[in-house]
Amino acid sequence: MKTTVLKRSSTKLLKVFIVFSMVIFPLSLGVQRVEGDQLYAISDVIEDSRPSTASNHTITFTTQTLVEDDDSTITVTFPAGFTMGSVDETDIDISDDAADKETEANCAGSDEVGVSVALQVVTFQICAGETGDIAAGSVVVIEIGDNAQYDGAGVDQIVNHATPAYYDIVIGGTWDDDGTTKIVIVDTLTARVTVDETMSFTITAVNLATCDDRPGDNVNEVATTVATLVDFGDATLEEFYDACHEMEVGTNAANGYSVTVTESDQLSYGSDQIADGVCDSICTETVEETWATSANNGFGYCLDDITGDAGATADATMDQCDHGTTPEYKIFPELDIDTPEFETVMSSAAGLTTNDETHLGYRVTLPSTTAAGTFENRIILVATPTY
């Protein structure tokens, strides 16, 4: 009689970290329409609110008075601590009621607006005589960063202040309007969710009527096994006896799993033992061989993949135990005796799996000199997830 014992590996915790950045876009924050030259509907939408992080800016406001094309200027001033870096005219666009204006580094050419950056100030010069004036009531949009793609491909961005706080962005210049809006630099928030490690390993009784993958054609096939027992029954000496179990693995381990096997001892009854044998010639714990002659006594196993990672589930080096083919077998390594003590019978590096299935076929043939008695041992299967 032969029973199987299952050991499961311990579990760990798998942690997933998702980092969010909170961005607050104030509209008309701190703006009061108390005078005729006060801008309104002012906002600066930033792409990233994290401290010391490069970010695009989209500044929007509505004019109250005309900005004439007589070299009048519009200025945007950023607080100290915001790093302007290499931001220049190519990283800045300006539009008037959704119509982009042609820009250059100064008003020496024929473009409508000269754009320059000095210290914390971005200056827009409405070039004299170039019809670039901006009418009262116009919606002006200024883009700074790699979002500025109209008149040159924007690359450089402004780096946020290192300290989380509210900061004023001041709009002014030589024209009549001015105003202020605010942006908020905030620390990142951490959202955390913990997913428990899962691992399932089951050994299922298989009726040979439905076990398409089993050891050869043999009148002594065991019709039915149970999950923890393979009982070959009353054996005739020097005849093959075959049986079948199904192993199934499911795990959320990102790096797959392995299943190994060993035996507690050779099939034993008191001091009498059945040697594991060598199949038809040289099968060992690590080398497979055909086994078609029942006079070559011993106890071994074969494998066959059913469902899952076919390249890795079951020993890929074995011809396996398909019914109607020539099976190949190994013998079980013996715990505390053989090196290695365990041999891999299922494995996968494919990551998450729900139902990798492999059939484990058993074969035994007893020598003619075997004494009467019930011979048994323990087959130990160890399933290990890799996280």
Q: Does residue 192 form part of some domain?
A: no
Residues 14-73: pLDDT tens digits? 333 323 333 434 433 333 333 446 888 899 999 999 999 999 999 999 999 999 989 999
225 plus 157 within the same structural domain? no
pLDDT (tens digit, 9 = 90+) per residue, 156-202?
Answer: 999 999 999 999 999 999 998 999 999 999 998 878 888 888 889 99
Residues 41 and 131 in one domain: yes
Q: End of a domain among 134, 158, 187? A: 187
In this prediction, residue 223 carries a pLDDT of 61
235 and 139 both lie in a single domain: no
pLDDT tens-digit series, residues 341-382:
999 999 888 778 888 888 888 999 999 999 999 999 999 999
329 and 317 Cβ atoms separated by less than 8 Å: no
Secondary structure of residue 89 in the 3-state scheme: helix
Q: Which of 180, 162, 182, 163 is nearest to 171 (CA)?
A: 180
Exposed/middle/buried for residue 340 (C-beta within 10 Å: 0-12, 13-18, 19+): exposed
pLDDT tens digits, one per residue of 299-329 = 999 888 888 765 566 777 777 787 667 888 9
Same domain, 60 and 178: yes
Question: What single-letter amino acid sits at 307?
Answer: T
Structural domain containing residue 56: 22-187
Token pair 């019978």 is found at 345
Residues 239 and 349 in one domain: yes
Q: What is the pLDDT of residue 22?
A: 39
**Of 149, 164, 187, which one is at a domain's C-terminal end?**
187
pLDDT, tens only, 213-261: 666 566 677 766 788 888 888 999 999 988 888 899 999 988 889 999 9
Of 134, 153, 187, which residue constitutes the final position of a domain? Answer: 187
Per-residue pLDDT of 119-145, as tens digits, reads: 999 999 999 988 889 999 999 999 999
In a domain, residue 193? The reply is: no
In a domain, 212, yes or no: yes
On whether both 218 and 353 belong to a single domain, the answer is yes
Scored b (16 or more CB within 10 A) or e, 287-303 reads: ebbebeebebbbbbbbb
